[in-house]
Amino acid sequence: MWWHQHNLCFRHPIEEDYSGDLEEKVSVAGSGTGRGSPAVTLVQLPSGQTVHVQGVIQTPQPSVIQSPQIQTVQVATIAETDESADSEGVIDSHKRREILSRRPSYRKILNELSSDVPGVPKIEEEKSEEEGTPPNIATMAVPTSIYQTSTGQYIAIAQGGTIQISNPGSDGVQGLQALTMTNSGAPPPGATIVQYAAQSADGTQQFFVPGSQVVVQDEETELAPSHMAAATGDMPTYQIRAPTTALPQGVVMAASPGSLHSPQQLAEEATRKRELRLMKNREAAKECRRRKKEYVKCLESRVAVLEVQNKKLIEELETLKDICSPKTD
């Protein structure tokens, strides 16, 4: 379905947040054609030359270029899927689903492509291209408790005392922050000092943990003992305070797994696990879509390059024909 749409329209992917991910040899820009109109792509060559090209997939124009084998395989795969999608009425959805689900991951395809074809960027195993961003959700430690604040943030508290904050509105790349609990000595009643290792605290956030309310403090705030700051360098400090009144709206409380007794607690544990699974899957889906876009972008770049090459070779062929067989009239 999706490939069908892509091949038909040859849309340029949305210029979204990931622009600049790829080191493209050419820059491709979709012209401002309306819906359903023939797709014309603007190709900027490294030399600065600008060429208008049409989508190659649906173009019946003969090509003199023998594509590299790996690319042929990929295109053939897409074309097959198109056909299967077109014959939707013939095969049942389950079979179609089977066919579609056997497609290798975009990372794999693109990496295979890039290993065989120079100039095709790789999708990194870890998102190293996004420097300065916190680790991906997939690398997070398995938490023992997870909570959601009224603002939609997720707080995960791991066995080792690490508090992870996931911001669902941050497109999955910058939403994870880590806190380390340092329950040293004898804290004041109802208070626990934590060290905050995140990069993007705004100093005004509030979040909640079981039985305690965490107040995020600015680094300048004279809240933590001085020895804490001295021991951890520039880390700002935070304090967990006892809850004042009832829980704020939207906070999901759960007991730790070690203290499960009643069916209600078991249900809460199940809910907590489900929330964690959904959160991970949400992030995975975002990442998958991002890779998909990157993959499509890469393929379109290759199409543009090959079309330009194709055009040049055809022109060259015509020139050589003219030279070899001069007109006799």
Partner DNA sequence: ACCAAGCATCGTCAGCTAGA
Partner DNA sequence: TCTAGCTGACGATGCTTGGT
Q: Report the alpha-carbon distance of residue 187 to residue 203 in Å, rounded.
A: 22
Distance from C-alpha of 258 to C-alpha of 252, rounded to nearest angstrom: 18
The contact mask relative to DNA for 134-163 (x = CB under 7 A, - = no) is ----x---x---------------------
Name residue 53's amino acid.
V
The DSSP bridge partners found for residue 214 are: 207, 240
The reply to whether 107 sits near DNA by the rule CB under 7 A is yes
312 binds DNA (CB under 7 A): no
Run of H or E including 215:
strand 212-215
Among 31, 72, 105, 319, binds DNA (CB under 7 A): 105
> Which segment (54-62, 64-72, 280-288, 308-316) binds DNA by CB under 7 A?
280-288
Residue (78 or 247) nearer to DNA, CB? 78
H or E segment at 229?
helix 226-231
How near is the Cβ of 141 to DNA at its closest, in Å?
Answer: 10
Residues forming a β-bridge with 176? 166
**Amino acid sitting at position 51:** V
Cβ 318 to DNA shortest distance, Å:
36
Longest CA–CA separation in the chain, Å: 105
- Residue ranges in 168-227 that form contacts with DNA under rule CB under 7 A: 168, 171
79 binds DNA (CB under 7 A): no
* Residue carrying the six token digits 């091949």: 7
Per CB under 7 A, does 314 bind DNA?
A: no
Query: With CB under 7 A as the contact rule, which of the stretches 11-19, 46-54, 216-224, 262-270 interacts with DNA?
Result: 11-19
- In the complex with DNA, the residue whose CB is nearer, 227 or 277, is 277
| 224 within 8 A of 234, measured Cβ to Cβ | no
Residue 155 CA, chain-centre distance (Å), reads 21
Residue numbers of the site for DNA (CB under 7 A)?
1-2, 5, 9, 11, 14, 16, 34-36, 85, 93, 96-98, 100-103, 105-108, 138, 142, 168, 171, 278-282, 284-289, 291-292
